[in-house]
A and B are shown apart, each in its own frame.
Chain A
Amino acid sequence: MVKHLIIGTAALGLVASAAQGADGKPIVIGVPIGLSGANSVVAPSVVQSAELAVEEINAKGGVLGRKLALEVADDASGAAGAQKAFDSLIYQKKVDVLISMETSAARNAGLPAVTKGRVPYIYTSFYEGHSCNKNLFVDAWVPEQQVPPVVDAFKAKGAKTYFLIGSDYAFGRGMLGFAKSYVEKTGGKVLGEEYLPMDGSDWTAIISKLKEAKPDALITSTAGGAPNVTLTKQLRGAGVTLPFANLALDEGTAKSMGADAEGVYLSASYVTGIDGAENKAFLAAMKKKFGAELRTPNDLSVPEYEAIYLYKAAVEKAGGTETVKVLEALPTVSFTGPRGTIRMSKQHHAPLTMYLGQIQADGTVKVADTFKDVDPGEQCPKLQ
């Protein structure tokens, strides 16, 4: 198998053969994901948590007596790749459900295939919100859930003026757009809102503007990976020491950024430091299964794990994998996982417990505050 040599992580999409139970055909879960391209940094951790969920469920007898199987397909983190990956999974591999995190462009590109192919799709990535389709469910956060903890915390520390910096793309603009309205609603003032193209790497002029505006606090929302690191490095290089919240920062990136990330605030529905039995059991199981190969679980990989359990619950409730019945069941079932109890009951989105964290000198995240069951707001009023 060439794949092992290439990807290094075992069993990408290969669980299928092992999972074939005696009780008939396995239930196949399609995972279209950016193994290459922008999402390739985080994708392996997502695949790992999917593999753990499938292994755990199969070990306990599967779903309605059927085993689960994974089919992973690379979408190159982009729209054209996603079209191929979704087509391949839906029409070629004939999966029963799609569960994955994606870029917004890839998710959108896949939606027509999801609709035409009539499969349920659980989207497990936080995003800018308002993506509505009757086949689509989301178990990760939207701006309405993530931004208020940050702004409230800064406000409590006395911040009145804010500066917003982001990458020019749907997520960056969506997050900061909401942040701006929330800041203004709570009596604060936004001194500037600046964007650089996603592949831009020179933040010089924006940083100079920031320094001249002299705000009380800074909120950034860049594209993940390179732009995030680049902006943080250049901010630190320019000696910016404001209270600084990074809406696009995940624990793993924070850890690798070292001293540059120290003191930065992040807001997430999952951090490894969550003090709960489910989380500890999950982390232990991940460590046991993957050992040295383990990619640190994060706010993108844990929702994948939980979504597979949510799908299991929906299939059990529906009495089968028939799409219409599963879609009916999905908003009503719940699962208690590392992030607490998740139920996608609000217009195909899920109320979530949010954590405000601050990066420590050693790169770990210290939970500064917890916000219980934050509502996702009006995401898809047409879908009840």
Chain B
Amino acid sequence: MLLTLDILTTAAILFIVSIGLLAIFGVLKIINFAHGAWLTVGAYCAVVTAKLGLNPWLALPLAFLVGAVLGGIAEHFIIRPLYRRPLDAILATWGLGIVVGQLVTLGLGRDVQLTPNLYAGTVAFLGVDYSAYRLVALGIALVIGTMFALAIERTRLGLSARAVIMNETLARSLGIDTGRVRLVVFMIGAGLAALAGVLLTPLTSVDPNMGVAWLIGAFMLVMVADASYLALAAACLVFGAAQVLISTFVSPILGSIAIAVLAALVLRISPKGFSRA
């Protein structure tokens, strides 16, 4: 039972962390290596919220807003000139991540910051005492996933985004302002990443480099998922399970590289990853 809950909640957290990256990769075909920086920025929004004495949950909208605004600026000045050079975009966003990390350090200090728990304690759930927050995170992942699905399937923006994903040239010739779609999607992606940063705070410390630890895992999951959020959910479940099972039964050290290694092998065998299914 404990194992099942571990797998489900691990998958949920992975999903929360990687959905913003997926949105950007799906539409812009660009790997946003500044993703870790957006996570960090979001987590610092939680720190600021706490310092102002506000309700910790208020950090969520704040982080989304800050992430989206910063994302918009980054899209305009850094991503836009590099649409035709996706490998360069990886490098530029990595550089952006360094810059954001150093700015956070200079502005708010290198120290490990502590934030109040969004939701503390444990609950008895089907016979085991389980971390209440992890269960909440599971719920949040479902909410984010559902909202993301609705946005993709039911809104005008979602329709435009899907058109851009399928065939950008065609989308443009149909009168879709693809530049604006890219901007908005990048802002949403960055906003979601910042949101994820807040949601991570009950689980981790907050420091200027916290995002990097999550970056590679999220990146590999998105590569496997290609541009599909359903495939991402599946990937999170499968690789989250692999991570938990390997950590539990073999070694946590192997478990921690399980996602990266298994995802690389999956891509080698089936280049389209999970999105084919």
**Residue among B105, B106, B132, B204 with the highest chain A CB neighbour number at 10 A:** B204
Interface-centre pick from B110, B134, B202 (highest chain A CB count, 10 A)? B110
* Given A201-B204, A205-B244, A206-B247, also A238-B122 (CB < 8 A): yes
A195 within 8 A of B: yes
The stretch among B59-67, B75-83, B154-162, B206-214 that forms the contact with chain A is B206-214
Contacts A195-B253, A206-B247 aside, 12 further interface pairs with beta carbons under 8 A come to A195-B252, A196-B256, A200-B252, A202-B243, A226-B112, A229-B112, A230-B204, A233-B205, A237-B120, A237-B131, A237-B133, A239-B129
Contact A225 B205 (CB under 8 A): yes
A226 touches B248 (CB 8 A): no
Q: Given the known inter-chain contacts A229-B112, A238-B130, please indicate yes or no for A205 contacting B248, CB distance below 8 A.
A: yes
Q: Is A6 an interface residue (CB 8 A)?
A: yes
Any B CB within 8 A of the CB of A84: no
A208 to B253, CA, bound (A): 15
Nearest chain A CB to B202's CB is how many angstroms away? 6
A57 at the interface (CB under 8 A from B): no
| B113-129 near A? 1/0 per residue, CB < 8 Å | 11001001110000001
Q: Are A197's CB and B114's CB within 8 A?
A: no
In the assembled complex, the CB of B246 is this many whole angstroms from the nearest CB of chain A, namely 8
Q: How far is the CA of A206 from the CA of B247 in the complex (A)?
A: 7
Q: Residues 9-20 of chain B: 1 if any A CB is under 8 Å from the residue's CB, otherwise 0?
A: 110010000000
A256 within 8 A of B: yes
User: B253 contacts which chain A residues (CB < 8 A)?
Assistant: 168, 195-197
Known: A196-B253, A201-B213, A204-B10. A237 touches B203 (CB 8 A): yes
A226 to chain B: closest residue by CB: B205
Known contacts A200-B213, A238-B131, A253-B112; A205 and B6 CB within 8 A of each other: yes
Cα-based distance from A36 to B111 in the complex (angstroms): 11
> Interface residues, chain A, CB within 8 Å of chain B?
6, 36, 40-41, 168, 194-197, 199-202, 204-206, 208-209, 211-212, 225-226, 228-230, 233-234, 236-239, 253, 256-258, 260
Residues on B close to A: CB < 8 A?
2-3, 6, 9-10, 13, 105-106, 110-114, 117, 120-122, 129-134, 202-205, 207, 209-210, 212-214, 243-244, 247-248, 252-253, 255-257
Are A36 and B112 in contact, CB atoms less than 8 angstroms apart?
Answer: no
Inter-chain contacts of B131 with A (CB < 8 A): 234, 237-239
B-chain residues with CB within 8 Å of residue A197 when the two chains form the complex: 253, 256-257
Inter-chain contacts of B114 with A (CB < 8 A): 229, 256-258, 260
Residues of A within 8 A of B247 (CB): 204-206
| Residues of B contacting A237 in the complex (Cβ-Cβ under 8 angstroms) | 117, 120, 122, 131-134, 202-203
Whether A208 and B204, one on each chain, are in contact in the complex, defined by CB atoms closer than 8 angstroms, is no
Cβ-defined partner of B2 (8 Å) among A199, A208, A256: A208
- 7 tightest A-B contacts by CB? A205-B247, A229-B205, A239-B122, A40-B110, A237-B131, A226-B205, A230-B204
- Given contacts A195-B252, A204-B10, A237-B131, whether A41 and B205 have CB atoms under 8 Å apart is no
Q: Give the Cβ gap from A197 to chain B, nearest Cβ, in Å.
A: 5
B9 — which chain A residues lie within 8 A by C-beta? 204
State in angstroms the CA–CA spacing of A40 and B112 once bound together: 10
**Residues of the B chain whose Cβ atoms lie less than 8 Å from the Cβ of A226:** 112, 204-205, 207, 209-210
Complex interface: chain B residues within 8 A of A212 (CB)? 2
- Are B256 and A202 in contact, CB atoms less than 8 angstroms apart? yes
| A209 CA to B252 CA, complexed, in Å | 11
Chain A residues with Cβ below 8 Å from B122 are: 237-239
Some 10 contacts from A to B, beta carbons below 8 A apart, are: A196-B252, A196-B253, A199-B213, A201-B203, A204-B6, A208-B3, A236-B120, A238-B129, A239-B131, A253-B112
User: In the complex, A202→B210 CA distance in Å?
Assistant: 12
